Amino acid sequence: MPGIKIIEVDGGGVAFQPDRPNAQPNQPLGARSGDLVTWNNMTNRTLMLQSIPPGTYITEPIPAGSVSSPIFRVTGNLTYSCVDPPEPQHSIVVSTTS
């Protein structure tokens, strides 16, 4: 199951880092349609995710040090960010190859 770590960066911001070997902060997560994705909030505050544009439910607020719930099922490409701070934006990109 693909995962994304939410990590703190200088200045009080956050970065999204795919939980994969050699992944870099804010690198898009590659996934397949139907994959289940979780976010691991490694910050010291509760975070809420929002889709861009609005309309896709992602998950409940993620408490500090916790994993997102419910698990998100990928159905297509998704761009999202935290509600606060709203930057950076991050994306899940669906692969069209098997």
Domains and CATH numbers, the chain: 3-94 (2.60.40.420)
pLDDT one-digit tens code per residue, 27-63: 999 999 999 999 999 999 999 999 999 999 999 999 9
> Tokens for 86?
């709203």
The answer to whether the Cα torsion of 48, 94, 29, 31 is positive or negative is positive
pTM: 0.92
The b/e string for 17-47 (b: 16+ C-beta within 10 A; e otherwise) is bbeeeebeeeebbebeeebebbbbbebeeeb
